[in-house]
Amino acid sequence: MEKFIINGGNKLQGEVTISGAKNAAVAILPATLLCDEPCIIENIPNISDVTRIANILADLGADIKRIDKTTLSIDPTKIKSHVVNSGLASSMRASYYFLGALLGKFGKASVVMPGGCFFGSRPIDQHIKGFNALGAETEILNGAIIESIATSPLKGTYIYLDVVSVGATMNIMLAAVKAKGETIMENAAKEPHIVDLANFLNSMGANIRGAGTDVIKIRGVNRLHSTTYSIIPDQIEAGTYMAAAAATRGKIAVKNITPKHLDSISAKLREMGVIIEEYDDTIVVDATAKTLRRCNIKTMPHPGFPTDCQPQFAALLATVGGTSIINENVWDNRFQYIGELLRMGARISVEGKLAVIEGGTKLTAAPVSATDLRAGAALIIAALVADGTTEITNIKYIIRGYEEIVEKLQSIGADISIGYYEEPENAVAEVS
């Protein structure tokens, strides 16, 4: 198994280019199967989560050709099956986007229940509520397979989401895009990847309005035509490098991004005393000149501070004098990584959804293990500032979501390399 070996102490400096957004790609690739012609998707991040989704599409019968490193041509016209291969889908939560997409295409879908959980319970009741409101009957068979079947064509309807859910908003959009009549979804999520999915579907001739607000209106269309579409830059990858630059008191230019998507992250860094300069598709993060200040963070659905940057900012705040409080307001339990930060000398206590960080102690190297993707990113940030050599195991989680993270970090001055170790026999199955 691979591990990261990081010698801390280098200030990050230079330029880093951000890849396409993981959480947009894992919905847009399943969405291609709704198209009635081939289409081309650009700016696809080269990460293992995306490879898994592409493999599921191929297994369903899509003809997928790689045009270049970040571009795929996908011809879904020969897909006949509505049953997703459980072996391919079980380790990935995002495989549930095949439910909405297959339901939208065939009026039926069967996908393995996304297993495991890292952040507390991860129900899918809002997805199911949406599918059923559109006219499907959705059952969880033996607690393992989600099967959604409509006996007559799906029909547009009114759906109020009880919780703001990224996954449910996207899945309902996928199911409703070819339904008869209009679907109105209220209390929808507003993340940039929701808008990206809507823009992609609209580029094929769908009629979706309001994505990015909390009311989305979807007027069903009969056919979706060929398109060439480029996925938005990854907000969370960008936020991770911004936090890393601040933690090392470095200065970097984060390129190929949409600054607006990073407003909440830039605002927090500014509050801490980091200088942020915004350009068209670049943000310069400069933490070289000043002593940084503590701050409090509450995670919220977009446009609030993203939960997916919470662990990275906890690592950053551990390097800043004073007491900072993080309130994790999206997931029940997203502080597992804090035990690993404690091994590195951080002083953090957790009480329910609150983490209290007594910052400013010198972090020191320790053997640590990534418990999930963003937890792994937080450990990298801590290791970049720690005294000594930190080894991070379980990096399979990290490479699921960060394209070429070693090369990118090396290019901005980090001392990071890959080493190897034997995986323990009782290793836990991975899920993201």
Chain positions contacting ligand EPU, by CB under 6 A:
23, 26, 93-94, 122-127, 163, 165-168, 189, 307-308, 330-331, 373-374, 401
C-alpha 247/C-alpha 292 separation (Å) is 9
C-alpha 77/C-alpha 80 separation (Å) is 8
Nearer to ligand EPU, 122 or 343 (CB): 122
Contacts of 41 (CB under 8 A, 6+ apart): 25, 28, 29, 32, 71, 72, 74, 228, 229, 230, 231
In the 8-state DSSP scheme, what is residue 299?
Answer: B
Minimum CB distance to ligand EPU, residue 44 (Å): 15
Chain residue whose CB lies nearest ligand EPU:
167
Nearer to ligand EPU, 330 or 399 (CB): 330
Which of the residues 35, 39, 117, 295 is marked catalytic?
Answer: 117
Nearer to ligand EPU, 23 or 393 (CB): 23
Minimum CB distance to ligand EPU, residue 279 (Å): 26
Tokens 């930190």 belong to residue: 390
CB 16 within 8 A of CB 253: yes
Nearer to ligand EPU, 330 or 395 (CB): 330
Contacts of 22 (CB under 8 A, 6+ apart): 45, 47, 49, 50, 234, 236, 237, 401
Minimum CB distance to ligand EPU, residue 28 (Å): 11
Minimum CB distance to ligand EPU, residue 302 (Å): 8
Helices 235-247 and 263-271 pack at an angle, to 10 degrees, of: 10
Nearer to ligand EPU, 236 or 287 (CB): 236
CB 203 within 8 A of CB 229: yes
Nearer to ligand EPU, 234 or 286 (CB): 234
Residue 172 burial (C-beta neighbours within 10 Å; 0-12, 13-18, 19+): buried
Active site annotation includes 309: no
Cis ω on the peptide bond leading into residue 114 (within 30° of 0)? Answer: no
Tokens 């280098």 belong to residue: 10
Minimum CB distance to ligand EPU, residue 96 (Å): 8
Query: Token pair for residue 45?
Result: 């991040």
CB atoms within 10 A of CB 81: 12
Minimum CB distance to ligand EPU, residue 130 (Å): 9
Known catalytic residues are 117
